[in-house]
Each structure stands twice: as C-alpha cells, then as structure tokens.
Chain A
Amino acid sequence: MTPPQASPAQTPSSTVSTQSAVAERLAEIVGERHVLSRQSELLVYNSDGLPGYRRQPKLAVFPGSGEEAVAVVRFLAKQGLPFVPRGAGTGLSGGALADDIVVIGLHRLKKIISLDVENRRATVEPGVVNLRLNKHVAPHGLLYAPDPSSEAACTIGGNVAENAGGPHCLKYGVTLNHVLAMTVILPSGEIVELGSKVGERDGYDLRGAFIGSEGCFGLALEITVKLTPKPQTVRTLLADFMSVDAAAHVTSAIIASGIVPAALEFMDGPTIRVVEDSIYAAGYPRDAEAILLIELDGLEAGVAADLETVRRVCLDGAARNVKVARDEAERMKLWQGRKKAFGAMGRLAPHLIVQDAVIPRTKLPEVLATIHAISEKYGVVVCNVFHAGDGNLHPNIAYSADDPAESERVHKAMIEIMRACIDAGGSITGEHGVGLDKMGYMEAIFSETSLNAMCELRSVFDPERRSNPGKVVPVHACKEWRAVSGGRLRIAEPPAEVHEPRPLEAEPARPSAR
C-alpha cells in the first residue's frame, strides 16, 4: 500500500477545540443524536462500497431537513471547514470518504416532495433511495430509468453526484439524461436553481456541469427527475456461447444491427460457474464460456420482430442456444444471477477488485482477448461481468489480499488491463466515478490544460475547494491550486496507484430486475 502524502498539519490544540466546538454547534442545528464525533461511532463511515479505501472522518452530521442541511453548510462555510457529502455510501470509487474532515450524511432527507404523473416528473430530496422512488411511481405506470446495481440502497443524490448508470442505461441513458432541475446549496452556503422544473432554459448548462461532479460542486437538496412510461412489453433472452470471442462478436453485431436493446449484459465462463455454484444459481449453462443476457422492450409488435432478429444474430454468431424467458419468474431468475454475480465471487477468494473501464464496442473481442492474455501472464483469474452493449467493462479479480505476492500480481494485472482499455480509445470509468480510486489515471486520458479547465470549473462552484476536497482531479493538475495549497484546509492527496485490498460484496445486490 502506498501511503497518502502528508497533509498540511493543523496544530493539535486548535483541532481539538475546533472539533468539540464544531460538534456542539452542529448539534444545535440537527440535534445531538445526529452528530457523531466518537471515533468508534465514525468507523461505519470510514469506507464506501469500495471498502479497500479507509479514511476516518472527524465528525459526521446528519441533517433531518433541507433547512438543517442549509444551516449546516452555512455554518461550515463560516468556519471555513471542508466537508464530504454522502448518500448511502454505496459508491465504488472511494468518492464519499472524508479524511479527517466532516461528513454530511444526507440519508435522512428522504422525502418524495412531489409526483406529477401527468407531466411525468418527480421532485425528491437527495436521500431518497432509487428503488423507493421506482416503487412509488410504479403504480402510475412510470419508472425512473437509471438503475445502478445498488438501486436498493443508493440515493438519488448520490446518483446525481456520480451520474450513475446501470444495465438499462444502454437504451434509456444515464442520470444526466433524466434530471431536469436541482436546488443546490453551494459550499459557500448560497442556494441556486440549476436547470428548470417546468421547461427548458438557455444560458450555460449548469445542471449538466453539476451532474457527475462527485460532490465537489456542492449538495443537491431537491432534485426534479423525468419519469419514463413503463414499456408495454419486456422480453429477456439468454444466449450461450462456447467462446468469449463469439459472444463479443455477437454483441457488436447486435449493436450494429441497429436494435437498441434495453440491456445487453455479458458474463464469461468463470463468472457463470461461480454464479451456478452459489445460491444465486440462475440455470446458466455451466459449460458455456460466455453468456449474453439481452432484454428488449417497447411496443409489443416491434419487440416481437426485434426478438427474432436478435435470436438470428445470436445463432449466426455461433450461439449454442438462445432461450427466451417464458414468464416473469423465469426472467427474474435470469437477472438474479447477473445481479448477484459480484456477491457470488465471494466463493473464489476473500477480496475483489472491480474496474469500470469503457471501450469502443467494436474493440470488445480484441480487448477481452487482451484481458485474458494479461490474466494468464500474471496467473490470476479474471471474472468478466459487464454492460456489453455500452462497452462498459467490469473485469474483476478475486484474490487474497493477505498474500503479498498474489496482491502484487493482481494489481499489476489490473493496471495493465486499464492501460489496454485506454489504448483501445476508451475511458477509465463508465459509471462508478473517479473519486479516489481512478484519480491516478486521469492524466492518462486528459491533458494538463483539460484537467486545469476542470479545476477552474470546480473553483467557480467551490472557490475554497471545501466540498469533497482531494477527489476527481489530482491537485497537482490545477495550476492555480498549486500556488495556494495549504492553509486551514486538509487536502490529502491519495496515491496514484492504489494497492489496497478490496473485500467482497462490492456491488450491493439488486433484488429484482425491472
């Protein structure tokens, strides 16, 4: 493990007195039981869905209303104190970690403020859980399209911060495409409206800039989202293949056919067998080297025709079998295996590394072959389970972090895999965010001037860089920031390449497919 670089130190006395005074003041705002300051209580908040990273917060505060959240942010602004906004903590990039600073937990802000069925939109507080919003709107024949695998736990506020995706984003788009407006409190304490609840707006797309800003631009206190009518028909197919290459080529062929499936998911042989050995067995053929889980939705007539096309493409591409789920129960079972694949990998080894690179879809066969070669070279087992339709890979390696030699091999393999994806013209993250985890790769895909432009944008929203400091863009990439580093802020720079172990259940299980 590479230790973080030293942060500008504060004198112990000022830290202590500040901490107790700060806790007291925060307790006046939110009530004593909603402020945590004992180290033992704060342990729960020292990691997110990527528990390989640990950072201990100094304090945690949980406002119970928008007004309280405003008061908390304004108090911290007055004190010049940095903070980290946090939703459910299911993120997979280390983005919600607070290194010796204040965590503002937003999970108590869970009101669904309004639902406008006719205009298909809802306004929610940031702590509303994704799945709860979906259950709330389902009786009206509507859904909220972005469906990250953590949807049973993750919050809409967190989804906005990460610009979250999910299997169905292939057809429906990511969070960015579904958020109409936000009421945001800037780190300064000022409240701004971004986007428009009722229409379109001209001027700079500040809403677009805010979505995916990973908590660095402030906190969204109210979020108005677009709702989507439930499709008339949903059909799910399972195609199995005797080679990864064939499945990869079929993925490309389906995309090239012009059909936009609602989801197109890929699982390779090692993943299939792990799932089938687990309690999540979905009836996948154990001897297959790859399966594709393909979902089509829309109007009945169109789906039936597309189903035939997809079946033909699969069979022409050497699929052994193409099975269509006969009913909802069978469909759920097929999805269950995909959803719980990460959990099932717990059978292989105690720790797991997950990546999130994206590659051009035509490069799938080539990059999967490269990944295989890399895994052989380092003697590690890579389980590929990912959003193939988007080219969004999730190569996972299960291993034991207690074995230093194995850890070393695993991390070298992961770095090579990431390089292969970047070389293929891809991106370092499709939906998990940069956070701490991928900051070391930012310079591999963005030039100095591009990173600086990102720093400048951030400085407009948060001139003092107090909101989620030290994330997304490496501090040294920001011209202006280098000149004025230090001061009262604690900005710890994380290691460029992280060699921290990654325990299991990284991707919280999703109970049911849509």
Chain B
Amino acid sequence: MSTQAVVSAVKESVETASPLRIEARATWLDAGRPVRAHKTLSLRDDSGVVGYVPGDLTLTVRAGTPLSEIEQVTREHDQWLPLDPYGTSDGTIGATLATASAGPLSASFGLPRDLLLGLEFVNGRGEVVRGGGKVVKNVAGFDLSRLLTGSWGTLGVITEVTLRLYALPKVDRTFAIALKGSEQETGRVIHVITESALSPYALQYFSRPAVRALELGEHPVCLIRFGGNDAVVRAQVNALSQIAKPEETESEIWTRVRQLDGSAHTVVRISSLPVQFRAASARILGDDVGGIYVSIDPRRGVLRIVVGGEDANGDSGTAAIGSSVDFHESQGVIFEKLPPDIWSAVSPSVVSDPLSQGIKRAYDPRNILNPGILGDLM
C-alpha cells in the first residue's frame, strides 16, 4: 500500500460510484455512525517510519502505523508520542488523528491536533494534498492539518503524518487515592488537588464500577501520574501526601484505563467548564450503577461515560449521571459509540452546518469517503 494505491482506489470508487469505508487495524469500527459503503479501503499495510531524526523530536510515519510501533521506535531513543487514546495501542496513528481520539495525557500534552505538525492525504477526487510541514513551528498556508484531524476520514484518506515527540521523562510514577470519605470529603480532596500547584501528567477520577473493573478496590479513586526529573516528581509526591494518602500503583494501570471501553455499546463524552465538573464530581463518583463506568478529567473538563460493561444495567445510569450535570451550560455532548439504530435519533449529524457542508463538498464532492460516519450533510 502506498499513497499511489490509495489514489487509485479512490479514483476507482469515484468512477464506479461505490463509496469506501476507510479503515486500518479495524479496532474501533463500532465507533461513529453507521457507514454506508460496500467497499473497504484498508490502510493496514501502509505502515512504517518514513523519517525519524531523534534530535529534531519529530517523527514522520505512514498512517497505518500502529501506536505500539511508534511507542517502540521512539522508546529506543528515550522519546515518546504522549498520546494515549482509549482502546489499545494496536490502533493506528491515522485512525487516532482522523477521529481526534485522546486519553488521560491530553490535559498535559494536548489533543491530537496539538501534536500534529503536518500530513498528507488523498481527497475524494483522488488528489494528493499536503498540509503543514515537518518542522515544529509553521504558519505557511491554510491549516489543513487541523481541518483533517477529527474529520473521521470524510475529507480525505490520511496517508502520512508528521508528529511532535517529547523526551520520555526520567521518572514516571502513578498513584491511586481511594476516596473513602463522604461526598463532602471527596469534594474537598478534589478541590484541594485542583487548587494545588501540582502539575501531573494525568489526573482522572473513576466511579465505583470503573474502579472495580480496574481492580483498584471498592471506592471511587483518583489516579494521578507524575513525570519529569527525579526532583520534580519527588516534590510533587511529597506535596500530594500532605493532601491525601496516595498509594503507588504500576503505570500499567493506564493501559487498563484505556481499555475500559471493552465491549461497551455506548460511550459518551460530556465536556463542560472544568469548575462545573469539580462541583459535580463528588456526586457523580458516588453513583454506583452496574456496568456504567464514569471517568472524569477535571483539567480537560471531560466526563466520560461507558455503558455496557458486562454487568450493564440499561441506560438508567446515564440518565442519573446526566441529571448531576447542568446541561444548560454544557454544549459539548459527544457520542463516540452508540447502538447503530439510535444514532439518527440521538445525534443525526455534526456536519450539517453550511461551512462543514461546503468543505465536505469541496474535498469529497461524490461523497465516497466514509459516507454517514459524521452524519449527513442535510
């Protein structure tokens, strides 16, 4: 597979009017709205490093490269791509960027859009387009890299990307704080951690069912990850110990966090002002509905609800959690996964505004790239 092969496949689809389902490792095909396509364009084999000069802290790879390969290649040079989307590292960088998927590290290192320096894609006419570049700072031309990130393959098939890397921290430690007290006490701990000078790599709170699934005990838990040089981590751990009783846990826990989705049929992300979440967090974390895993990233301002764990108990939990958050101020309800038959009722389209329609028509005039995955134009 090469860019030229993608060009040929797209052109053929245009000629035969047969839309394409774009995929790579097919690890997350149940996300997004149902796609109306009979043919699949797979980037699975379009994988590998194109350019890596460790001293530049930039990496250019083919879009079908699995995150695990990027981890491995960069780790050899004590570097990493601090991107930990939900799911597994078997997923590809192309899919991660196309879906703008981000995990717990994003509150510190940024969303996929912040780590992408440039890309190559094939638009719906089979033309090869490049946006951005391979250097860390660049304002030449309109920003096609941001445009393609999160476009779910509907504007172009991403074939190659250049990413910003970071050095692996000398020290990387994760702690769990069991929130055993009353709702009020939990609220206090959340408040104090938030107001402290701590600067963790990741900070997430988990509801009881999620904690059980993570095998971290019976109480809501705060997971907090510190990285950097030895001194800065030690200072933060000491500071944290003044606030609560942190227990060190193996960093492998974050892999399990990313895989909480498992067999879930519904994943919803609610984003709002960080302060609102802080206010509601203690209450939400107290909810205990089987099979409904809630995680809160107070810095990013995101509450993530996973429904459909093995002990799932219908959608009542989602409703209960929903009632704890003031939706009037929260315009960001993002559905990642839903049972296929209810998409049209819950979230028919996120690209029905005139600008999005115009862009889609310009880049994929025949609507052959992942048609329907973001909803229809009109």
Q: Please measure, in the bound complex, the distance between the C-alpha atom of A266 and the C-alpha atom of B128, giving whole angstroms.
A: 37
A65 within 8 A of B: no
Is the beta-carbon distance between A362 and B130 smaller than 8 angstroms?
no
The answer, yes or no, to whether B62 is at the interface (CB within 8 Å) is: no
Q: Judge if B192 is at the interface, Cβ distance under 8 Å.
A: no
The answer to whether A427 and B133 touch (CB under 8 A), given A256-B54, A453-B144, is: yes
Answer yes or no: B136 CB below 8 A from chain A CBs: yes
Task: Given A204-B151, A205-B149, verify A427-B140 contact (CB < 8 Å).
Answer: yes
Residue A329 CB within 8 A of the other chain = no
Is there a chain A Cβ closer than 8 Å to B272's Cβ? yes
- Residues on B with beta carbons closer than 8 Å to the beta carbon of A391: 56, 135-137
Interfacial chain A residues near B350, Cβ < 8 Å: 202-203
A431 touches B146 (CB 8 A): no
Query: Shortest CB–CB separation between residue B228 and chain A, in angstroms?
Result: 5
CB distance from B146 to the nearest CB of A (A): 3
The verdict on A173 contacting B114 (CB below 8 Å), with A199-B272, A199-B273 known, is yes
Q: A256-B54, A453-B144 are in contact. Are A460 and B353 (CB under 8 A)?
A: no
Q: A213 — nearest CB in chain B belongs to which residue?
A: B142
Which residues in A have their C-beta under 8 angstroms from that of B110? 173, 177
Q: Which of A116, A216, A391, A460 has the most CB of B within 10 A?
A: A460
A449 vs B3: C-alpha distance when bound (angstroms) = 14
Tell whether A370 is near chain B: CB-to-CB under 8 Å: no
Determine the distance from Cα of A279 to Cα of B54 in the docked complex, in whole angstroms.
41
CB of A430 within 8 A of CB of B137, answer yes
**B136, A258: Cβ atoms closer than 8 Å:** no
Q: Are A209 and B129 in contact (CB under 8 A)?
A: no
Residues of A within 8 A of B140 (CB): 427-429, 434, 438, 442, 445-446
- B231 at interface, CB cutoff 8 A: yes
User: Within 8 Å of chain A (Cβ to Cβ): is B331?
Assistant: yes
Q: A97-119 toward B: CB 8 Å interface, digit per residue (1/0)?
A: 00000000000000000001011
**Alpha-carbon gap, A226 to B361, bound state (A):** 32
In the complex, residue of chain A having the shortest beta-carbon distance to the beta carbon of B57: A255
A459 to B128, CA, bound (A): 19
**Does A493 sit at the interface, judged by CB under 8 A?**
no
Please state if A302 and B273 are interface contacts (CB–CB under 8 Å): no
Please indicate the chain A residues that have their CB under 8 angstroms from the CB of B167 in the complex. 256-259
Contact B166 A204 (CB under 8 A): no
Assess whether A200 is in contact with B332, with CB atoms less than 8 Å apart.
yes
Most chain A CB atoms below 10 A, which of B128, B137, B144, B300: B137
Within 8 A of A (CB), among B74-124: 78-79, 100, 110, 113-114, 123
Residues of A within 8 A of B330 (CB): 198-199
Decide yes or no: A165 and B137 within 8 Å by CB, A203-B374, A305-B232 being known contacts. Answer: yes
Q: Is B318 an interface residue (CB 8 A)?
A: no
**What is the CB-to-nearest-CB distance from B21 to chain A, in angstroms, rounded to a whole number?**
19
**Cβ of A304 under 8 Å from chain B:** yes
Give the contact stretch, choosing among A24-32, A353-361, A483-491, A502-510.
A353-361
Q: Mark A275-318, 1 if CB is under 8 A from B, else 0.
A: 00000000000000000000000111111111001000000000
Give the residues in chain A near B58, CB-CB below 8 Å.
360
Which residues of A have CB within 8 Å of B29?
Answer: none
Contact yes or no, A198 B139, CB < 8 A: no
Contact of B136 among A119, A304, A390, A472 (CB under 8 A): A390
Once A209-B147, A232-B197 are accepted as A-B contacts, the answer to whether A258 and B232 lie under 8 Å apart by CB is no
* A175 CA to B155 CA, complexed, in Å: 25
Known A177-B110, A203-B374, A213-B142; contact A304-B331, beta-carbon cutoff 8 A: no
- Among B131, B135, B142, B275, find the residue whose CB has the most chain A CB atoms closer than 10 A: B142
CA distance A387 to B354 in the complex (A): 40
Interface membership of A321, Cβ < 8 A: no
A-B pairs under 8 A by CB, number: 250
Residues of B332-373 contacting chain A, CB below 8 A:
332, 334, 350-351, 353-356, 358-359, 362-363
Closest residue to A162 on the B side, CB-wise? B139
Contacts of B123 on A, CB cut-off 8 Å?
449, 453
| A392 touches B (CB below 8 Å) | yes
Are B138 and A447 interface neighbours, CB within 8 A? Answer: no
CB of A212 closer than 8 Å to a CB of B: yes
What B residues does A173 contact at CB under 8 A?
A: 110, 114
Inside 8 A of A192's CB, which chain B residues have their CB? Answer: 353, 355
Report yes or no: B235 in contact with A460, Cβ–Cβ below 8 A. no
Question: Known contacts A196-B331, A390-B136, A458-B142; is A204 also within 8 Å of B231 by CB?
Answer: no
User: What is the size category of the interface that chain B forms with chain A?
Assistant: 35 or more
Q: Which residues of A contact B301 (CB under 8 A)?
A: 119, 199-200
A302 in contact with B229 (CB, 8 Å) = yes
Are A304 and B356 closer than 8 Å at their CB atoms?
no
Interface centre among A258, A362, A451, A472, by most chain B C-beta atoms within 10 angstroms, is A258
| Residues of A with C-beta under 8 A to B136 | 358, 361, 390-391
For the complex, what is the distance from the CA of A387 to the CA of B137, rounded to whole Å?
10
The answer to whether A202 and B334 touch across the interface, beta carbons within 8 angstroms, is: yes
- Smallest CB separation, A186 vs chain B (Å): 8
* B218: Cβ under 8 A from any A Cβ: no
B139 touching A431, Cβ below 8 Å:
yes
A299 contacts B141, C-beta separation under 8 Å: no
Contact in complex: B133, A200 (CB < 8 Å): no
Q: Does A46 contact B (CB under 8 A)?
A: no
Whether A434 and B141, one on each chain, are in contact in the complex, defined by CB atoms closer than 8 angstroms, is yes
Counting CB contacts under 8 A, is A492 at the interface? Answer: no
Binary CB contact string for chain A from 443 to 461 against chain B (1 if under 8 A, 0 otherwise): 0011101111110111111
Q: Does residue A176 face the partner (Cβ distance < 8 Å to B)?
A: yes
For the complex formed, measure the closest distance between the CB of A151 and the CB atoms of chain B, giving whole angstroms: 17
Residues of chain B lying within 8 A (CB to CB) of residue A256: 54-55, 57, 167
How far in angstroms is the closest Cβ of chain A from B100?
8
Which of B166, B329, B351 makes the CB contact (< 8 A) with A198?
Answer: B329
Is B274 close to A, CB under 8 A?
yes
| CB-based contact B229/A299 at 8 Å | no
A432 interface hit (Cβ, 8 Å): yes
Whether a CB of chain A sits under 8 angstroms from the CB of B69 is no
Verify A200–B334 contact, CB threshold 8 A. yes
Q: CB of B134 within 8 A of chain A? A: yes
Among A29-83, those with CB < 8 Å from B are none
B residues near A458, Cβ cutoff 8 Å: 142
Q: Which residues of A contact B133 (CB under 8 A)?
A: 358, 426-427, 445
Residues of A within 8 A of B114 (CB): 173, 176-177
A residues within 8 A CB of B143?
A: 163, 176, 208-209, 211-213
Nearest CB in chain B: distance from A299 CB, A: 5
The distance in angstroms between the C-alpha atoms of A170 and B155, with both chains bound, is 31
Collect the chain B residues with CB atoms within 8 Å of residue A362's CB.
53, 55-56
Q: Are B235 and A300 in contact (CB under 8 A)?
A: yes
Cβ of A334 under 8 Å from chain B = no
Instruction: Report the separation of the CA atoms of residues A473 and B356 in the bound assembly, to the nearest whole angstrom.
Output: 21
| Residues of chain B contacted by A298 (CB below 8 angstroms) | 199, 232
**Beta-carbon nearest neighbor of B99 in chain A:** A202
Binding site for A on B (CB under 8 A): 53-58, 78-79, 100, 110, 113-114, 123, 127-131, 133-147, 149-151, 155, 166-170, 197, 199, 228-232, 234-236, 269-275, 300-302, 329-332, 334, 350-351, 353-356, 358-359, 362-363, 374
4 closest Cβ pairs, A-B complex: A258-B167, A208-B146, A302-B232, A199-B332
Q: Can you name 12 A-B pairs with beta carbons within 8 Å?
A: A200-B302, A202-B350, A205-B149, A209-B143, A212-B142, A298-B199, A305-B231, A450-B141, A451-B141, A453-B144, A454-B141, A472-B141
11 extra interchain contacts, Cβ-Cβ under 8 A, other than A302-B229, A362-B53?
Answer: A198-B272, A199-B330, A200-B332, A208-B147, A209-B147, A391-B137, A427-B137, A427-B139, A450-B129, A457-B362, A459-B362
